[in-house]
Amino acid sequence: MVQKYIGIDLSIKGKHTAVILADNGQKEKIFSFLTDRKDLEMLVSTAKSGISQKVTLNFIMEPTSTVWIPIAYYLSAKGHRIFIIKPEKAHDLRKFLKKHSKTDKIDAHTLAKMPIIDKDGLYPFIPSNEDYFTLNRLCRNRFKLADLSSAIQCKIRNILYIAVPGLEKVFPHLFKAIGRKFLRNYINPHKVKSLGLKRFTNVLKKAAKGNFQPQEAIEIYNACLKAADLYSSFLPPFNYHQLQQEVNFLLDELELMEKQMAELDKEINTRYLKLDPNQILHDFMGIGPVIAPALLGVIGNILRFSNLRKFVSFCGWAPKKKQSSSRNKEGLRISKAAQNYLKRILYIAAETARQWDPQAAALYHKLINKGKHHKQAVCAVAAFMSRRIYSVAKRVQKANALNSKLPDALINPLRYQLRDFNGNKIEPKDARILIAQKFPNKKRNSAKLSKSYNIKGKNKQLNRDSAKHFNKDDSILPLSVILSQVKNNLLDNVTILPD
């Protein structure tokens, strides 16, 4: 069977450039085409021309914007092999082949050579069906709207810092019903002052619809009085009417986005239940109605990954490798070679999982105790979750492939279940308590200790002295004695131990 390699340099506005290579790497033809059926058929016939034997066409391209999608899916539907190459990899090979030149033809020729140079490093493109593709797009749009709404909330808070300094401390629920009523009408503290406490309390009580604390209204009112008193002593560099207009405009944007997200959530949930009727991903702590569809949309059919190693690499958690002669360096950093979107949702899930899953918590605290950074430990938990997601999802999908309507009695033993440190099944509430007992909040405890040591800035010198002079002959004194000596500048050659 004859192999031909067609490298395609995609263009967003102009014509695409294709370079056709024979199986020996010899350049045969250069072809320019547009994204339409006629040109694509001509590209295929040009690549097959002059060959009487059966030929396999291999198309190699980069994921340029979304331009690659119609071309890749069309050629895949016609039975040809497609390879989607990372731009970094193509760039490195082009710099090696043509260091001082860059043209569309050179780029297409570089892509065509990729299967010849690195055959084992390429994986055929597997197109996803309409359900997975649409779910992925919907979830990405939802995440973008969530990011934009967070940015708008941040802008409103920044305006509030100017308009009513100190209000954020006494008004934590700023974007609930009571908060939005205030933001819509009472950015100006002089307006609140003119209402009086009683009328202002009634306004907030009516907006709260039953969920109202009178003390909260008093604290908000006092913060507005302080702001009004502050700005009455000088002419502020802003206009309250303009600030109120700006806040109302931002609130309109925010409410529109929230409405769009609610509509997206309904559509996402419908499509997710169609693909995962058993809601297998919801069994993992940290994966709920937002993360589960997003994760499934990116992963697609789990059976397309032939083994666990490929799936972990796809998620970006595979470690780098460095080996020379008899030396094999271990403990290297992860490659991070994955979609930022996928890594983000797994990281968010891992942050919650370490607080609810005892085995994930044990891994996290083991790494923290070794001196690893918080983010490094959370990434390790994300890799831990990825391996379990693959194992559970694969065995459930294999079972569903045999019978599309398996009863819950057969599905339940395949689901992921929380287990304690000894491997016994445990309920989420009990798991949370177990983690809190096994791994108390060291940050909170250390803050309390540092506060008790902090006497007129002596704590830093205290730590340096105790580390510097620690040896077998050092005296060990109770904490109360040490603190009394610190006050009198008598501390010398001691080590701190709590009472």
Confidence of residue 414 (pLDDT cuts 50, 70, 90): confident
Query: pTM, whole model, 2 decimals?
Result: 0.79
Instruction: Encode pLDDT of 19-51 as tens digits.
Output: 999 988 888 899 999 999 999 999 999 998 877
Confidence of residue 496 (pLDDT cuts 50, 70, 90): very low
- Residue pLDDT, tens place only, 173-200: 889 889 999 999 999 999 999 999 999 9
Cα–Cα distance measured from residue 341 to residue 280, given in angstroms and rounded to the nearest whole number: 21
Q: Show the tokens assigned to 92.
A: 């490195």
Q: What mean pLDDT comes out for the span 57-70?
A: 94
Amino acid identity, position 470: F
| Domains 2-127 and 134-268 belong to one CATH topology | no
Spatial separation of the C-alpha atoms in residues 293 and 287, rounded to whole Å: 9
Confidence category of residue 119, pLDDT binned at 50, 70, 90: confident
How confident is the model over 74-98, as a mean pLDDT?
92
Q: Look at residue 323 in the predicted model and tell me its pLDDT.
A: 80
Q: Which residues, at least 6 apart from 92, have a Cβ–Cβ distance to it below 8 Å?
A: none
The answer to whether the CB of 35 falls within 8 A of the CB of 70 is yes
Indicate the fold that domain 134-268 takes in CATH: Helix Hairpins (1.10.287)
- As a whole number of angstroms, the distance between CA 226 and CA 81 comes to 70
Q: Residue 179's CB: how many other CB atoms inside 10 A?
A: 19
- Helix count (H) and strand count (E) of the chain? 21, 9
Report the distance separating Cα 183 and Cα 53, nearest Å.
Answer: 74
**How many C-beta atoms surround the C-beta of residue 20 within 10 A?**
23
- Give pLDDT tens digits for 296-339: 999 998 888 889 988 998 998 888 888 887 788 777 788 888 88
Predicted local confidence at residue 451, as pLDDT:
44
C-alpha to C-alpha distance for 472 and 208, rounded to whole angstroms: 65
Distance CA 19, CA 376 (A): 43
> What is the residue extent of each domain of the chain?
2-127, 134-268, 280-438, 453-496
Cα separation, 174 vs 178, in Å, equals 7
* Superfamily of domain covering 2-127: YqgF/RNase H-like domain (3.30.420.140)
DSSP for 103-135? -HHHHHHHHHHHHHH-GGG--------HHHHHH
Strands 475-477 and 16-21, sheet pairing: unpaired
Parallel/antiparallel/unpaired status of strands 475-477 and 494-496: parallel
Taking only the tens place, the pLDDT of each residue in 433-473 is 999 998 887 655 444 434 444 433 434 333 333 333 333 33
